[in-house]
Structure 1
Amino acid sequence: MSTWEQGYKKWDSFQDLDESLKLQLDSMKEEKHLLEDAFYKELTFGTGGMRGVLGPGTNRMNKYTVRKAVNGLASYLLDNRVNVRDRGVVIAYDSRYMSKEFAIEAAKVLGVYGIKTHVFDSIRPTPLLSFAVRYLSTTAGIMITASHNPPEYNGLKVYNENGSQITPDEAEQLLSYINQTKDELQVSVLEKTEAEEKALLSWIGDEIDNAYLGRLSYISRLGTDTLEMEKDVKIVFTPLHGSSYDLIMRGLKQHHFSNVHVVEEQVKADPEFSTVESPNPEEHQAFHMAMDLGEKIDADILLGTDPDGDRLGVAVKNKTGNYHVLTGNQLGSLLLDYVLRHSNPVIYQNARMIKTVVTTELGKAIADSYGVKTIDTLTGFKYIGEKINSFDSTGETFLFGFEESYGYLVSGYVRDKDAVQAAVMTAEMAYFWKQQGKTLLEALHDLYEKHGYYVEGMSSIELKGKNGMTQIEKIMDDYRETPVVEIAGMNVEKVENYLTRQRINKTDGKVERIQLPKENMIKFMLEDNTWVCIRPSGTEPKIKYYYGVCGISMKDSESKLSVLEKAMAERMEEMLSIKV
């Protein structure tokens, strides 16, 4: 009997299996491929946590896989942190199916160990969870979310006592504790009512919200008199059925943005995300309803957040009167420039801007122009948070951080990407440039004129299931093992292999050490300021490839990018045609 069949038999024969999971399991009995996918492995616990499709099985998000992960977390904390039981853990959750239920399951497991939990009484965005860890001085935080994944997904992210997602080293240690639990069906839990009676489960109201908003009031770059003025910026906002509505509306109000129009159909916390194909502000379809409303009221900017409120998308009107959705690289560059031009030059020498290795090089060019050092990290905001944590000992000053996938952080009182901060700062930036007689698109054009026409793209291929994982591994192996001399007719000058942590200069053969953690990623630096990077997604069954160019005009850059995108698509298609 195969391993997956053994796992299935164990679940199928478990007398106390959750009734809804039992019904789902029974419906799958004649679908062997579905059973195999649900049991052929355990749900991957990566550097930030785990994410997967809801349903029965060891490779699915359910109460038992959540219990196993939290059981490991409890043991890890007790062995590696101080005063764990009293300091406790704070838990938040978003609008997805089973989010609150999983939050309670986590508290029930921690209760067995006598560890206090603070659980929010309703949905909250991820940045508030990061803030809550720091505000309450807990030993850890848990966020129940699958970010912008489809409705059938949910997930669990773990935050360390600094309020940032756990580091790779912490994740590796935690995983060893999780793996000590051999049977996820037998994890002990304390019943909810008993946990509440013993004060091991307490519910959080609006205390943390108010404290967060108090800190948010200090991020403005406007003078006191201007800050207190009502601002003539027309804003359309949609939370895309997620958790950011209350904090963003209150944040905009306290910064005196009163002309805010909400897409009412998308305010409701709907786990089906029924008005959009995907609740992802990176995808333009998510803005359709916001654009319709924007046209009716002649809005200056449109703001949209993902379900857990850590990513922000922005659209602004172009010269033809249509709304143009900014890329994450474009909005991040605009915000960076706005923060720097309104910061005291005295701090520039010690200030740091942080971005990821697949984020636009326009950010570095902007920072360089102000004399501010740029720090590159691996892909994922957890690495930006980790770097900010290190500044407590180095004395460096965090000024701004961003990544291409619509994640931004203005102030370090949160240690993860924060769409609430970004939304308020974007509104303020739009107001500033409107006072100068410019739109955000015109301000962006000025940055291109000054620093170069940096343009980037990203494509992904979804490869689900066991076979998909094998294909992804094969593609990555091929790129690492087969020498790549040119891409789209451009010579490869350097190869950065993040798995071996080596940078190879193809012109002189010189090998350098990459001063970043090991990662399953490879980056090709081509001639003419062009680059390509390939990596598997850490949260979805996808392989992603990123590319960037810098031309002498926007037309030149877009032409180069089109050629590069086509060449990469053809190469991927060729690789996928080879059976594994």
Structure 2
Amino acid sequence: MIKFGTGGWRAIIGDEFVKTNIQLLTQALANKMIKEETKSFVIGYDRRFLSDRSAQWMSEVLAGNGIQVYFINRIAPTPMVMYSVKALNLQYGAAVTASHNPADYNGIKIFTEGGRDAGKDVTDDIEHYMEDVKDIQLIPFDKALEKGTVMIYNPFNDYIDTIINLVDLEAIKKKQLKILLDPMYGVSKTSLQTILMTARCEVDLIHDRHDTLFGGRLPSPSAKTLGRLKNEVVEKGYDLGIGTDGDADRLGIIDEKGNFIHPNAIMALLYYYLLKYKNWRGPVVRNLATTHLLDKIAEGFGESCYEVPVGFKHISSKMEETDALIGGESSGGLTIRGHIKGKDGVFAASLLVEMISVTNKHLSKLLDDIHEQFGKFDMVEDSFDFKVEDKERLLNLLYTHKKIPEFSYEVDRVSYMDGVKVFFKNGGWIIARFSGTEPLLRVFAEMDSMDKAKQVSEEMKAFLDI
């Protein structure tokens, strides 16, 4: 049974991610679109094994059901596909990608109007339609191209120009920054390199060849996976190191001193920059596993911070509802008002480069400014594998019986919005929740010191017996 998670459908290649399941999912999607009288769709794909072929298999089924397909016939960052949904004024689109998952995974992300991740109502609907699929209708890809039911579409220039028009290109040109880019064998190379070189940055690359095994690393930018980027930034005197995940909707940053800048800090930096230096106004939206430093910054500028469940679809919906300035998550994805309604690592990286150029301050100094004004927060993040019987036990413990540990700090309240989040009276918090993209239990804790964060995290882990 195909089940969508917080970031689309993802499965192991050759196990659940196989041609028959891809065709089944697409036929269900086509049936839904036909009922809704929606007749056009855009498809893109990343560099993973089978991504290009899977995009063709999807196109064949959609074309076989009389749906016009705009086929992006080049590797495309996921945000470029989302941009295409918005630019073409379509109701639906898709990217074949498993984002930052291990190399043996692939998947399909469904997008809806405005370039946003499909909500649970849409993905639930597709799952229900799958139950009633009896026949797969398709046209071979080459014949669909001949008929014009599948049309080759290249949004590269428009996507790049849109981002260039959203950043202060002249300020970046004057700074003449030296930047090292690590696409992590993914899809950001051409897009981000083009933008930065247009802004007269000196750009070098590592890990940019096509490697479906991602060099044996998880294609997720973190302190552990960006080791070479960190070393070369320091050794060769770069102003900034930029890492992007497999499909370029998330990023990781190395500052001029070789420090990994956590996505929480990236969100805080950009929100602070937009408020203080660009004089923009608006609230911020974060998921419940993202730093509360954003709350402090919002409060300091007379704005609000809204908390939502994990899944960028919740962030984009809340941003639209509140006219928020920025929205993001601790895993490295964010977007800004006026751009697509999904996360975009290419745009976020470009805006960070603008920030350095306009403020004439390195990231380390800007972070010092923020911490001096709003305080410092430390977070511990852990992920744990579990067996089927463990999950049942944990579900009963946390959700049915609603038990929590005897923490060393006084509890203020407990939220069950998404997982179990405990708020402490000292302003800290801890959350335990099951991942929506991988079979993992995630435990995040944030306090005003690393020792305290580690302490409550250990208390939660001991209580859960994991």
Q: Return the TM-score normalized by structure 2.
A: 0.95
Q: Which of the numbers 296, 300, 311 marks the counterpart of 1:380?
A: 311
Shift of 1:286: 2.0
Pairing 1:100-139 to 2, within 5 Å after superposition: 100-139=52-91
State whether structure 2 residue 305 is matched by structure 1 residue 370.
no
Give 2:451's aligned amino acid.
S
Q: Deviations over 1:91-142 (max 9, x none)?
A: 0110000000110000011111100111111110010011000111222011
Aligned equivalent of 2:211, options 263, 270, 274: 270
Q: Distance in 2 between matches of 1:131 and 1:487?
A: 47
Structure 2 residue aligned with 1:564: 456
User: Matched residues in 2 for 1:44 and 1:486: separation?
Assistant: 32
Partner SS state of residue 454, structure 2: helix
CA distance in 2, matches of 1:294, 1:531: 34
Q: CA deviation at 1:489?
A: 1.3
Displacement of 1:145 in angstroms is 0.4
- The question of 1:67 aligning with 2:23 is answered yes
Q: Report the alpha carbon displacement of residue 307 of structure 1 after superposing the two structures with TM.
A: 0.8
Give the corresponding residue for 2:413. 494
The letter of the residue matching 1:232 is Q
Contact 1:55-1:61 at 8 Å conserved across structures: yes
Matched, 1:324 2:259: yes
Q: Is 1:204 the counterpart of 2:116 in the alignment?
A: no
DSSP 3-state at the match of 1:243: coil
Structure 2 residue aligned with 1:407, among 326, 329, 333? 333
Which residues in structure 2 correspond to 1:31-50 (within 5 Å)? 42-46=1-5, 48-50=7-9
Assess if the C-alpha contact under 8 Å between 1:277 and 1:285 holds in 2.
no
Structure 1 residue 483, shift from structure 2 partner: 4.9
| 2:289 corresponding residue in structure 1 | 358
Q: State the Cα distance separating 1:225 from its structure 2 match.
A: 5.3
Give the residue type in structure 1 aligned to 2:205.
V
Aligned letter for 1:494?
R
1:171-182 equivalences under 5 Å are 171-181=123-133
Deviation at 1:63, TM superposition (A): 0.8
Alignment of 1:161-560 (within 5 A): 161-181=113-133, 187-205=136-154, 208-220=155-167, 222=168, 226-227=171-172, 229-254=173-198, 256-263=199-206, 266-274=207-215, 276-282=216-222, 284-318=223-257, 323-344=258-279, 348=281, 351-388=282-319, 390-391=320-321, 397-433=323-359, 435=360, 438-463=361-386, 468-484=387-403, 486-498=405-417, 519=418, 521-550=419-448, 557-560=449-452
Q: 3-state DSSP class of the match of 1:189?
A: coil
Question: SS of the residue aligned with 2:71?
Answer: strand
Distance 1:376 1:544 in 2: 18
What are the superposed Cα offsets for residues 451-478 of structure 1, whole Å, 9 maximum, x if unpaired?
1222222211123xxxx24422421320
**Could you list the runs of 5+ residues in structure 2 that have no partner in the other structure?**
none
Please give the alpha-carbon distance, in whole angstroms, between the structure 1 residues aligned to 2:117 and 2:74: 22
* Distance in 2 (alpha carbons) for counterparts of 1:277 and 1:217: 31
Native 8 Å contact 1:315 1:325 kept in 2: yes
SS of structure 2 residue aligned to 1:61 = coil
The answer for the alignment partner of 1:51 in structure 2 is 10
Provide the rounded CA distance (Å) in 2 between the counterparts of 1:102 and 1:442: 46
SS at match of 2:341: coil
What is the distance in 1 between the residues matched to 2:454 and 2:276?
33
The residue identity in structure 1 corresponding to 2:217 is: E
Question: What letter is aligned with 1:140?
Answer: Y
Deviation at 1:545, TM superposition (A): 1.3
Question: Contact 1:398/1:412 (CA < 8 Å) preserved in 2?
Answer: no
Measure, in 2, the Cα distance between the counterparts of 1:241 and 1:103: 19
Question: What SS class does the counterpart of residue 193 from structure 1 fall into?
Answer: helix
Residues 257/364 of structure 1: CA separation in 2 closer, same or farther (3 Å cut): farther
The AA in structure 2 aligned to 1:488 is F
**What residue in structure 2 maps to residue 513 of structure 1?**
none
Q: What TM-score, normalized to structure 1?
A: 0.77
Is the Cα contact below 8 Å between 1:476 and 1:535 reproduced in 2? Answer: no
TM-superposed deviation, 1:48:
4.5
For the residues of structure 2 that align with 1:225 and 1:164, how far apart are their CA atoms?
30
Distance in 2 between the 1:441 and 1:190 partners? 55
Structure of greater Rg: 1
The Cα offsets for residues 257-309 of structure 1, whole Å up to 9 and x where unpaired, read as 4222211xx111211112x5211102x23212223332332112110001100
Task: Give 1:46 deviation, angstroms.
Answer: 3.2
Q: Distance in 1 between matches of 2:402 and 2:89?
A: 50
Distance change (3 Å), C-alpha of 1:285 and 1:358: closer
Whether the aligned pair in 1 keeps the contact of 2:65 and 2:137 (CA below 8 Å) is no
Return the offset for 1:342: 2.7
Encode CA deviations 1:172-211: one digit per residue, 9 max, x unaligned: 22221122126xxx52321112211211111123xx1111
Q: Is the 8 A contact 1:485 1:491 kept in 2?
A: no
Deviation at 1:487?
4.2
1:525: Cα distance to partner?
A: 1.2
Partner-residue secondary structure (3-state), 1:109: helix
The DSSP-based 3-state class of the residue aligned with 1:285 is coil
Q: Distance in 1 between matches of 2:388 and 2:189?
A: 36
Give the number of aligned pairs. Answer: 466
Q: What is the rounded CA distance, in whole Å, between the counterparts of 1:485 and 1:379 in structure 2?
A: 21
| 2:397–2:403 Cα contact (<8 Å) kept | no
Shift of 1:397: 3.2
Do 1:486 and 1:492's aligned partners in 2 also have CA atoms closer than 8 Å? no
The 1:252/1:411 distance shift into structure 2, 3 A limit, reads: farther
Aligned to 1:27: none
CA distance in 2, matches of 1:363, 1:481: 32
Q: Which has the higher contact order (CA 8 A, sep 6+)?
A: 2
Alpha-carbon separation, structure 1, partners of 2:204 and 2:170:
25
**Whole-angstrom CA distance in 1 between matches of 2:403 and 2:412:** 10
Among the aligned pairs, what percent are the same residue?
26
Structure 2 counterpart of 1:378, one-letter code? P
SS of residue in 1 equivalent to 2:238: coil
Contact 1:355–1:376 (CA under 8 A) maintained in structure 2: yes
